[in-house]
Amino acid sequence: MTDTPEAFDAVEVIATKRDGGRLSDPQIDWVVDAYTRGVVADEQMSALAMAILLNGMERPEIARWTAAMIASGERMDFSSLSRPTADKHSTGGVGDKITLPLAPLVAACGVAVPQLSGRGLGHTGGTLDKLEAIPGWRAELSNAEILAQLEDVGAVICAAGKGLAPADKKLYALRDVTGTVEAIPLIASSIMSKKIAEGTGTLVLDVKVGSGAFMKDLEQATELAETMVALGTDAGVRTVALLTDMSVPLGLTAGNAVEVAESVEVLAGGGPRDVVELTIALAREMVAAAGRDDVDPADALADGRAMDFWRRMISAQGGDPDAPLPTPRETQVVTAPTTGVLTGLDALGVGVAAWRLGAGRSRPGEQVQAAAGVVLHATVGDRVVEGQPLLTLQTDTPERFARAEQALEGAITVGPDGQEPSARQVVLQRIDR
Protein backbone atom coordinates (compact mmCIF):
# COMPACT_ATOMS: atom_id res chain seq x y z
CA MET A 1 0.00 0.00 0.00
CA THR A 2 1.21 3.51 -0.78
CA ASP A 3 0.16 6.68 1.00
CA THR A 4 -0.68 8.45 -2.28
CA PRO A 5 -4.06 10.10 -1.73
CA GLU A 6 -6.92 8.88 -3.92
CA ALA A 7 -8.78 11.49 -5.98
CA PHE A 8 -12.14 10.67 -4.39
CA ASP A 9 -13.66 8.81 -1.55
CA ALA A 10 -15.82 5.82 -2.55
CA VAL A 11 -18.54 6.71 -0.04
CA GLU A 12 -18.89 10.17 -1.58
CA VAL A 13 -19.35 8.67 -5.08
CA ILE A 14 -21.93 6.14 -3.78
CA ALA A 15 -23.83 8.89 -1.95
CA THR A 16 -23.99 11.04 -5.12
CA LYS A 17 -25.80 8.28 -6.99
CA ARG A 18 -27.83 7.16 -3.96
CA ASP A 19 -29.25 10.69 -3.75
CA GLY A 20 -30.17 10.71 -7.44
CA GLY A 21 -27.25 12.90 -8.55
CA ARG A 22 -25.16 12.75 -11.70
CA LEU A 23 -21.64 11.34 -11.45
CA SER A 24 -18.96 13.66 -12.84
CA ASP A 25 -16.47 12.46 -15.45
CA PRO A 26 -13.57 12.46 -12.93
CA GLN A 27 -15.70 10.53 -10.40
CA ILE A 28 -16.52 7.86 -13.02
CA ASP A 29 -12.92 7.58 -14.27
CA TRP A 30 -11.67 7.23 -10.73
CA VAL A 31 -14.25 4.74 -9.41
CA VAL A 32 -13.91 2.34 -12.37
CA ASP A 33 -10.10 2.47 -12.23
CA ALA A 34 -9.93 2.26 -8.42
CA TYR A 35 -12.30 -0.75 -8.41
CA THR A 36 -10.13 -2.51 -11.02
CA ARG A 37 -7.05 -1.79 -8.86
CA GLY A 38 -8.78 -3.14 -5.74
CA VAL A 39 -8.88 0.23 -3.96
CA VAL A 40 -12.68 0.39 -4.08
CA ALA A 41 -13.96 -2.73 -2.29
CA ASP A 42 -16.56 -5.18 -3.65
CA GLU A 43 -19.12 -4.07 -1.05
CA GLN A 44 -18.67 -0.45 -2.11
CA MET A 45 -19.03 -1.25 -5.82
CA SER A 46 -22.12 -3.39 -5.01
CA ALA A 47 -23.72 -0.39 -3.29
CA LEU A 48 -22.90 1.84 -6.24
CA ALA A 49 -24.25 -0.74 -8.75
CA MET A 50 -27.50 -0.95 -6.76
CA ALA A 51 -27.77 2.86 -6.65
CA ILE A 52 -27.29 2.90 -10.45
CA LEU A 53 -29.93 0.18 -10.87
CA LEU A 54 -32.42 2.17 -8.76
CA ASN A 55 -31.64 5.72 -9.93
CA GLY A 56 -30.34 5.18 -13.46
CA MET A 57 -27.70 7.12 -15.35
CA GLU A 58 -27.89 9.84 -17.97
CA ARG A 59 -26.52 9.09 -21.46
CA PRO A 60 -23.28 11.09 -20.93
CA GLU A 61 -22.65 9.19 -17.69
CA ILE A 62 -23.14 5.84 -19.48
CA ALA A 63 -20.78 6.92 -22.26
CA ARG A 64 -18.10 7.93 -19.76
CA TRP A 65 -18.56 4.71 -17.75
CA THR A 66 -18.17 2.70 -20.97
CA ALA A 67 -15.01 4.64 -21.91
CA ALA A 68 -13.55 4.06 -18.44
CA MET A 69 -14.15 0.30 -18.74
CA ILE A 70 -12.51 0.26 -22.20
CA ALA A 71 -9.53 2.16 -20.76
CA SER A 72 -9.11 -0.52 -18.07
CA GLY A 73 -7.61 -2.92 -20.63
CA GLU A 74 -6.21 -3.39 -24.11
CA ARG A 75 -7.85 -2.61 -27.45
CA MET A 76 -7.57 -4.92 -30.40
CA ASP A 77 -6.92 -3.58 -33.88
CA PHE A 78 -8.12 -5.30 -37.04
CA SER A 79 -7.26 -2.45 -39.39
CA SER A 80 -4.48 -4.50 -41.04
CA LEU A 81 -7.01 -7.03 -42.42
CA SER A 82 -7.81 -7.04 -46.12
CA ARG A 83 -11.57 -7.25 -45.43
CA PRO A 84 -13.99 -5.11 -43.42
CA THR A 85 -15.05 -6.53 -40.04
CA ALA A 86 -18.51 -7.04 -38.54
CA ASP A 87 -19.55 -8.59 -35.27
CA LYS A 88 -22.88 -9.56 -33.73
CA HIS A 89 -23.80 -9.55 -30.07
CA SER A 90 -26.90 -11.13 -28.61
CA THR A 91 -28.15 -10.12 -25.18
CA GLY A 92 -28.76 -13.82 -24.53
CA GLY A 93 -31.63 -16.23 -25.05
CA VAL A 94 -32.75 -19.84 -24.98
CA GLY A 95 -31.73 -21.96 -27.97
CA ASP A 96 -29.81 -18.97 -29.33
CA LYS A 97 -27.27 -20.75 -31.50
CA ILE A 98 -27.35 -18.05 -34.22
CA THR A 99 -23.64 -17.15 -33.89
CA LEU A 100 -22.72 -20.65 -35.13
CA PRO A 101 -24.23 -20.46 -38.64
CA LEU A 102 -23.96 -16.64 -38.79
CA ALA A 103 -20.17 -16.22 -38.46
CA PRO A 104 -19.27 -18.51 -41.41
CA LEU A 105 -22.19 -17.16 -43.46
CA VAL A 106 -21.01 -13.55 -43.13
CA ALA A 107 -17.40 -14.61 -43.81
CA ALA A 108 -18.63 -16.30 -47.00
CA CYS A 109 -19.96 -12.87 -48.05
CA GLY A 110 -16.47 -11.29 -47.82
CA VAL A 111 -16.77 -9.70 -44.37
CA ALA A 112 -14.46 -10.86 -41.54
CA VAL A 113 -16.17 -11.83 -38.27
CA PRO A 114 -14.19 -11.53 -35.01
CA GLN A 115 -16.69 -13.14 -32.67
CA LEU A 116 -15.21 -12.98 -29.17
CA SER A 117 -17.70 -14.86 -27.04
CA GLY A 118 -18.39 -15.98 -23.49
CA ARG A 119 -19.57 -18.99 -21.57
CA GLY A 120 -23.09 -19.39 -20.26
CA LEU A 121 -24.07 -18.58 -16.70
CA GLY A 122 -27.67 -19.13 -15.69
CA HIS A 123 -30.38 -20.28 -18.09
CA THR A 124 -28.93 -18.75 -21.26
CA GLY A 125 -26.36 -20.91 -23.02
CA GLY A 126 -22.81 -19.90 -23.91
CA THR A 127 -21.50 -20.06 -27.46
CA LEU A 128 -18.14 -21.48 -26.34
CA ASP A 129 -19.83 -24.25 -24.32
CA LYS A 130 -21.78 -25.24 -27.42
CA LEU A 131 -18.76 -25.33 -29.72
CA GLU A 132 -16.73 -27.29 -27.16
CA ALA A 133 -19.11 -30.20 -27.86
CA ILE A 134 -17.17 -30.62 -31.15
CA PRO A 135 -14.28 -33.05 -30.54
CA GLY A 136 -10.92 -31.23 -30.53
CA TRP A 137 -12.30 -27.67 -30.83
CA ARG A 138 -10.27 -25.06 -28.94
CA ALA A 139 -11.77 -21.81 -27.56
CA GLU A 140 -8.61 -20.10 -26.31
CA LEU A 141 -6.61 -18.29 -29.02
CA SER A 142 -3.86 -15.68 -28.77
CA ASN A 143 -4.41 -12.27 -30.36
CA ALA A 144 -1.95 -13.25 -33.14
CA GLU A 145 -3.92 -16.47 -33.83
CA ILE A 146 -7.18 -14.51 -33.99
CA LEU A 147 -5.73 -12.09 -36.51
CA ALA A 148 -4.21 -14.88 -38.63
CA GLN A 149 -7.48 -16.87 -38.69
CA LEU A 150 -9.47 -13.76 -39.64
CA GLU A 151 -7.16 -13.21 -42.61
CA ASP A 152 -7.02 -16.91 -43.69
CA VAL A 153 -10.60 -18.07 -42.99
CA GLY A 154 -12.53 -14.86 -42.38
CA ALA A 155 -14.32 -16.00 -39.21
CA VAL A 156 -13.25 -16.80 -35.68
CA ILE A 157 -15.38 -17.63 -32.66
CA CYS A 158 -13.21 -17.76 -29.54
CA ALA A 159 -12.93 -16.72 -25.90
CA ALA A 160 -12.49 -13.02 -25.25
CA GLY A 161 -8.98 -12.58 -23.82
CA LYS A 162 -8.45 -11.49 -20.21
CA GLY A 163 -7.00 -8.19 -21.40
CA LEU A 164 -10.28 -6.83 -22.86
CA ALA A 165 -12.21 -4.57 -20.45
CA PRO A 166 -11.00 -6.24 -17.21
CA ALA A 167 -13.12 -3.74 -15.22
CA ASP A 168 -16.22 -5.29 -16.80
CA LYS A 169 -15.12 -8.86 -15.98
CA LYS A 170 -14.78 -7.95 -12.31
CA LEU A 171 -17.96 -5.87 -12.20
CA TYR A 172 -20.06 -8.40 -14.12
CA ALA A 173 -19.12 -11.18 -11.68
CA LEU A 174 -20.11 -8.88 -8.80
CA ARG A 175 -23.43 -7.90 -10.41
CA ASP A 176 -24.21 -11.54 -10.99
CA VAL A 177 -24.25 -12.22 -7.23
CA THR A 178 -25.74 -8.91 -6.03
CA GLY A 179 -28.99 -8.73 -8.03
CA THR A 180 -27.71 -5.86 -10.16
CA VAL A 181 -27.44 -7.47 -13.61
CA GLU A 182 -30.71 -5.96 -14.86
CA ALA A 183 -29.67 -2.28 -14.83
CA ILE A 184 -29.87 -0.91 -18.38
CA PRO A 185 -26.86 1.49 -18.00
CA LEU A 186 -24.74 -1.38 -16.65
CA ILE A 187 -25.82 -3.90 -19.31
CA ALA A 188 -25.26 -1.37 -22.11
CA SER A 189 -21.81 -0.30 -20.86
CA SER A 190 -20.79 -3.91 -20.17
CA ILE A 191 -21.63 -5.12 -23.67
CA MET A 192 -20.39 -2.06 -25.53
CA SER A 193 -17.09 -1.72 -23.63
CA LYS A 194 -16.16 -5.25 -24.73
CA LYS A 195 -17.31 -4.77 -28.31
CA ILE A 196 -15.61 -1.39 -28.77
CA ALA A 197 -12.37 -2.70 -27.17
CA GLU A 198 -12.53 -5.73 -29.48
CA GLY A 199 -12.03 -3.36 -32.42
CA THR A 200 -14.83 -4.44 -34.79
CA GLY A 201 -15.64 -1.93 -37.53
CA THR A 202 -19.38 -2.59 -37.42
CA LEU A 203 -21.68 -4.20 -34.88
CA VAL A 204 -25.16 -5.68 -35.10
CA LEU A 205 -26.96 -6.15 -31.80
CA ASP A 206 -29.62 -8.82 -31.32
CA VAL A 207 -31.60 -7.52 -28.36
CA LYS A 208 -33.87 -10.29 -27.08
CA VAL A 209 -37.34 -9.54 -25.73
CA GLY A 210 -39.56 -11.94 -23.78
CA SER A 211 -39.64 -14.42 -20.92
CA GLY A 212 -36.31 -16.04 -21.84
CA ALA A 213 -34.46 -12.69 -22.06
CA PHE A 214 -33.12 -10.11 -19.58
CA MET A 215 -35.55 -7.58 -21.07
CA LYS A 216 -39.08 -8.89 -20.61
CA ASP A 217 -40.92 -6.15 -22.54
CA LEU A 218 -40.49 -4.14 -25.73
CA GLU A 219 -40.19 -0.80 -23.93
CA GLN A 220 -37.17 -1.88 -21.82
CA ALA A 221 -35.58 -3.65 -24.79
CA THR A 222 -35.98 -0.52 -26.95
CA GLU A 223 -34.31 1.62 -24.29
CA LEU A 224 -31.40 -0.84 -24.03
CA ALA A 225 -31.04 -1.05 -27.82
CA GLU A 226 -31.15 2.75 -28.29
CA THR A 227 -28.55 3.24 -25.56
CA MET A 228 -26.18 0.68 -27.10
CA VAL A 229 -26.63 1.99 -30.65
CA ALA A 230 -25.80 5.52 -29.42
CA LEU A 231 -22.72 4.30 -27.49
CA GLY A 232 -21.38 2.38 -30.50
CA THR A 233 -22.08 5.14 -33.02
CA ASP A 234 -20.47 7.81 -30.82
CA ALA A 235 -17.39 5.58 -30.50
CA GLY A 236 -17.10 5.34 -34.31
CA VAL A 237 -18.49 1.80 -34.64
CA ARG A 238 -21.39 1.57 -37.12
CA THR A 239 -24.04 -0.03 -34.86
CA VAL A 240 -27.53 -1.32 -35.64
CA ALA A 241 -29.90 -3.29 -33.38
CA LEU A 242 -32.69 -5.75 -34.08
CA LEU A 243 -35.21 -6.46 -31.33
CA THR A 244 -36.13 -10.14 -31.61
CA ASP A 245 -38.65 -12.43 -29.95
CA MET A 246 -37.49 -14.60 -27.03
CA SER A 247 -40.86 -15.67 -25.64
CA VAL A 248 -40.31 -19.20 -27.01
CA PRO A 249 -36.97 -20.95 -27.61
CA LEU A 250 -35.22 -20.34 -30.92
CA GLY A 251 -35.40 -23.44 -33.08
CA LEU A 252 -36.03 -26.93 -31.76
CA THR A 253 -33.02 -27.38 -29.46
CA ALA A 254 -31.58 -25.87 -26.28
CA GLY A 255 -28.28 -27.24 -25.00
CA ASN A 256 -24.78 -27.77 -26.36
CA ALA A 257 -24.24 -30.61 -28.91
CA VAL A 258 -27.92 -30.45 -29.90
CA GLU A 259 -27.54 -26.78 -30.86
CA VAL A 260 -24.39 -27.51 -32.88
CA ALA A 261 -26.28 -30.23 -34.79
CA GLU A 262 -29.16 -27.83 -35.51
CA SER A 263 -26.73 -25.14 -36.72
CA VAL A 264 -25.14 -27.63 -39.12
CA GLU A 265 -28.64 -28.45 -40.44
CA VAL A 266 -29.14 -24.72 -41.16
CA LEU A 267 -25.78 -24.55 -42.95
CA ALA A 268 -26.80 -27.61 -44.98
CA GLY A 269 -29.91 -25.76 -46.21
CA GLY A 270 -32.45 -27.12 -43.71
CA GLY A 271 -33.19 -26.31 -40.07
CA PRO A 272 -36.10 -24.60 -38.33
CA ARG A 273 -37.69 -21.59 -40.03
CA ASP A 274 -37.07 -19.13 -37.17
CA VAL A 275 -33.35 -19.96 -36.94
CA VAL A 276 -32.91 -19.58 -40.70
CA GLU A 277 -34.92 -16.33 -40.77
CA LEU A 278 -32.95 -14.72 -37.93
CA THR A 279 -29.58 -15.90 -39.26
CA ILE A 280 -30.29 -14.33 -42.67
CA ALA A 281 -31.74 -11.12 -41.15
CA LEU A 282 -28.66 -10.58 -38.96
CA ALA A 283 -26.27 -11.55 -41.77
CA ARG A 284 -27.89 -9.00 -44.12
CA GLU A 285 -27.48 -6.28 -41.48
CA MET A 286 -23.81 -7.18 -40.89
CA VAL A 287 -22.92 -7.39 -44.55
CA ALA A 288 -24.72 -4.11 -45.37
CA ALA A 289 -23.21 -2.29 -42.36
CA ALA A 290 -19.76 -3.42 -43.54
CA GLY A 291 -20.45 -1.90 -46.98
CA ARG A 292 -21.01 -5.13 -48.93
CA ASP A 293 -24.62 -4.62 -50.00
CA ASP A 294 -23.75 -6.19 -53.37
CA VAL A 295 -24.04 -9.70 -51.86
CA ASP A 296 -27.06 -11.51 -50.40
CA PRO A 297 -26.28 -13.94 -47.54
CA ALA A 298 -29.32 -16.03 -48.52
CA ASP A 299 -27.39 -17.06 -51.68
CA ALA A 300 -24.25 -18.02 -49.72
CA LEU A 301 -26.41 -20.19 -47.44
CA ALA A 302 -28.28 -21.83 -50.31
CA ASP A 303 -25.24 -22.68 -52.45
CA GLY A 304 -23.19 -24.30 -49.65
CA ARG A 305 -20.49 -21.60 -49.36
CA ALA A 306 -21.40 -20.92 -45.72
CA MET A 307 -20.97 -24.64 -44.94
CA ASP A 308 -17.48 -24.59 -46.52
CA PHE A 309 -16.52 -21.64 -44.27
CA TRP A 310 -17.96 -23.45 -41.21
CA ARG A 311 -15.78 -26.49 -41.88
CA ARG A 312 -12.67 -24.34 -42.31
CA MET A 313 -13.47 -22.28 -39.20
CA ILE A 314 -13.92 -25.39 -37.03
CA SER A 315 -10.82 -27.15 -38.42
CA ALA A 316 -8.66 -24.03 -37.92
CA GLN A 317 -9.35 -24.31 -34.17
CA GLY A 318 -8.55 -28.03 -33.97
CA GLY A 319 -12.13 -29.28 -34.29
CA ASP A 320 -13.20 -32.17 -36.50
CA PRO A 321 -16.33 -31.07 -38.40
CA ASP A 322 -17.02 -34.70 -39.38
CA ALA A 323 -16.69 -36.23 -35.90
CA PRO A 324 -19.91 -37.56 -34.36
CA LEU A 325 -21.24 -35.26 -31.64
CA PRO A 326 -21.60 -36.60 -28.08
CA THR A 327 -24.90 -38.33 -27.28
CA PRO A 328 -26.55 -38.43 -23.83
CA ARG A 329 -26.47 -41.47 -21.56
CA GLU A 330 -30.11 -40.97 -20.57
CA THR A 331 -33.21 -39.45 -22.16
CA GLN A 332 -36.74 -38.84 -20.93
CA VAL A 333 -39.75 -37.87 -23.04
CA VAL A 334 -42.34 -35.26 -22.00
CA THR A 335 -45.70 -35.85 -23.72
CA ALA A 336 -48.63 -33.59 -24.63
CA PRO A 337 -51.00 -33.33 -21.64
CA THR A 338 -54.09 -33.10 -23.86
CA THR A 339 -55.21 -32.91 -27.52
CA GLY A 340 -55.41 -29.47 -29.17
CA VAL A 341 -53.13 -26.67 -30.35
CA LEU A 342 -49.78 -25.93 -28.71
CA THR A 343 -50.32 -22.31 -27.63
CA GLY A 344 -47.30 -21.77 -25.38
CA LEU A 345 -43.80 -23.15 -24.84
CA ASP A 346 -42.19 -20.78 -22.40
CA ALA A 347 -38.56 -19.94 -23.23
CA LEU A 348 -37.55 -19.46 -19.61
CA GLY A 349 -38.98 -22.86 -18.57
CA VAL A 350 -37.16 -24.67 -21.40
CA GLY A 351 -33.94 -22.73 -20.73
CA VAL A 352 -33.96 -23.55 -17.02
CA ALA A 353 -34.73 -27.22 -17.81
CA ALA A 354 -31.73 -27.44 -20.20
CA TRP A 355 -29.54 -25.74 -17.62
CA ARG A 356 -30.63 -28.12 -14.84
CA LEU A 357 -30.00 -31.12 -17.11
CA GLY A 358 -26.33 -30.06 -17.16
CA ALA A 359 -26.12 -27.88 -20.29
CA GLY A 360 -25.28 -24.82 -18.18
CA ARG A 361 -23.47 -24.07 -14.95
CA SER A 362 -24.58 -22.66 -11.62
CA ARG A 363 -21.10 -21.50 -10.57
CA PRO A 364 -18.38 -19.96 -12.76
CA GLY A 365 -15.84 -22.58 -13.80
CA GLU A 366 -18.18 -25.58 -13.41
CA GLN A 367 -18.00 -28.28 -16.17
CA VAL A 368 -21.00 -28.47 -18.50
CA GLN A 369 -22.27 -31.67 -20.15
CA ALA A 370 -21.83 -31.59 -23.93
CA ALA A 371 -24.82 -33.87 -24.59
CA ALA A 372 -27.25 -32.29 -22.10
CA GLY A 373 -30.24 -30.30 -23.29
CA VAL A 374 -33.80 -30.28 -24.55
CA VAL A 375 -35.05 -31.29 -28.01
CA LEU A 376 -38.50 -30.00 -29.01
CA HIS A 377 -40.74 -32.12 -31.23
CA ALA A 378 -43.42 -29.48 -31.76
CA THR A 379 -43.59 -25.68 -31.93
CA VAL A 380 -46.22 -23.14 -30.97
CA GLY A 381 -49.16 -23.34 -33.38
CA ASP A 382 -48.77 -27.09 -34.06
CA ARG A 383 -51.70 -29.46 -33.50
CA VAL A 384 -50.80 -32.05 -30.85
CA VAL A 385 -52.48 -35.25 -29.66
CA GLU A 386 -52.59 -36.28 -25.99
CA GLY A 387 -49.61 -38.54 -25.19
CA GLN A 388 -47.54 -37.58 -28.24
CA PRO A 389 -43.88 -36.72 -27.51
CA LEU A 390 -43.41 -32.95 -27.11
CA LEU A 391 -39.90 -32.71 -25.70
CA THR A 392 -36.96 -35.03 -25.09
CA LEU A 393 -34.82 -34.24 -22.05
CA GLN A 394 -31.18 -35.32 -22.35
CA THR A 395 -28.52 -35.75 -19.67
CA ASP A 396 -25.66 -37.99 -18.53
CA THR A 397 -26.92 -37.78 -14.92
CA PRO A 398 -30.55 -38.99 -14.63
CA GLU A 399 -31.00 -37.63 -11.10
CA ARG A 400 -31.36 -34.26 -12.85
CA PHE A 401 -34.63 -35.17 -14.62
CA ALA A 402 -36.92 -34.33 -11.68
CA ARG A 403 -35.66 -30.74 -11.29
CA ALA A 404 -35.76 -30.22 -15.07
CA GLU A 405 -39.40 -31.39 -15.13
CA GLN A 406 -40.21 -28.95 -12.32
CA ALA A 407 -38.84 -26.11 -14.46
CA LEU A 408 -41.27 -27.11 -17.21
CA GLU A 409 -44.34 -26.96 -14.97
CA GLY A 410 -46.71 -24.41 -16.50
CA ALA A 411 -44.32 -23.87 -19.44
CA ILE A 412 -46.38 -25.92 -21.91
CA THR A 413 -49.92 -24.81 -22.74
CA VAL A 414 -52.31 -26.61 -25.09
CA GLY A 415 -55.53 -24.83 -26.13
CA PRO A 416 -58.65 -26.08 -27.90
CA ASP A 417 -58.64 -26.54 -31.68
CA GLY A 418 -59.48 -23.30 -33.45
CA GLN A 419 -57.42 -21.17 -31.02
CA GLU A 420 -54.25 -21.20 -33.10
CA PRO A 421 -51.98 -18.28 -32.08
CA SER A 422 -51.13 -15.76 -34.78
CA ALA A 423 -47.93 -16.51 -36.71
CA ARG A 424 -44.81 -15.67 -34.69
CA GLN A 425 -42.79 -12.64 -35.76
CA VAL A 426 -39.10 -13.22 -35.04
CA VAL A 427 -37.75 -9.73 -35.83
CA LEU A 428 -39.89 -7.21 -33.95
CA GLN A 429 -38.13 -3.91 -34.63
CA ARG A 430 -34.97 -2.36 -36.05
CA ILE A 431 -33.06 0.45 -34.39
CA ASP A 432 -30.50 2.55 -36.25
CA ARG A 433 -29.30 6.12 -35.87
Active site residues: 89, 168, 175, 190, 194
Helix (H) or strand (E) holding 335: strand 330-335
Identify which range of 9-17, 27-35, 37-45, 185-193 contacts ligand URA by CB under 6 A. Answer: 185-193
Q: Which is nearer to ligand URA, 155 or 187 (CB)?
A: 187
Per-residue x/- mask for ligand URA, residues 74 to 103, rule CB under 6 A?
-----------------xx-----------
Binding window for ligand URA (CB under 6 A); candidates: 15-23, 151-159, 182-190, 222-230: 182-190
Closest approach, Cβ 194 to ligand URA, in A, equals 6
Of 160 and 266, which has the nearer Cβ to ligand URA?
160
> Any residues with CB less than 8 A from the CB of 131 and at least 6 apart, and which?
100, 137, 139, 157, 260, 314, 319
Footprint of ligand URA on residues 191-220 (CB under 6 A)?
A: 191
**16 in contact with ligand URA (CB under 6 A):** no
State the minimum distance, in angstroms, from the CB of residue 111 to ligand URA: 23
From residue 313, alpha-carbon distances to 155, 160, 260 in Å are: 6, 17, 14
CB 389 within 8 A of CB 158: no
Calculate the alpha carbon distances from 264 to 88, 91, 97, 102, 152 in Å.
19, 23, 10, 11, 22
Letters for 113-152 (x = contact with ligand URA by CB under 6 A, - = none) are ----------------------------------------
Residue 141 CB, shortest distance to ligand URA, in Å, is 19
- The Cα 107–Cα 99 span in angstroms is 12
Other C-beta atoms closer than 10 Å to the C-beta of 37 total 11
Number of H helices, E strands in the chain: 16, 13
**Under the criterion CB under 6 A, does residue 50 sit at the interface with ligand URA?**
no
Tell me the CA end-to-end span of the chain in Å, nearest whole number: 47
**DSSP H or E stretch at residue 376:** strand 373-376
For the four alpha carbons of 187, 189, 195 and 200, in that order, the dihedral sign comes to positive
C-beta of residue 204 within 8 angstroms of C-beta of residue 191: no
Pick the closer one to ligand URA by CB: 191 or 342: 191
Total of residues contacting ligand URA (CB under 6 A):
8
Q: Which residue from 190, 202, 253, 279 is in contact with ligand URA, where contact means CB under 6 A?
A: 190
Which listed residue (94, 165, 187, 378) binds ligand URA by CB under 6 A? 187
Closest distance between ligand URA and the C-beta of residue 379, in Å? Answer: 27
Which residues of this chain interact with ligand URA, rule CB under 6 A? 91-92, 172, 181, 186-187, 190-191
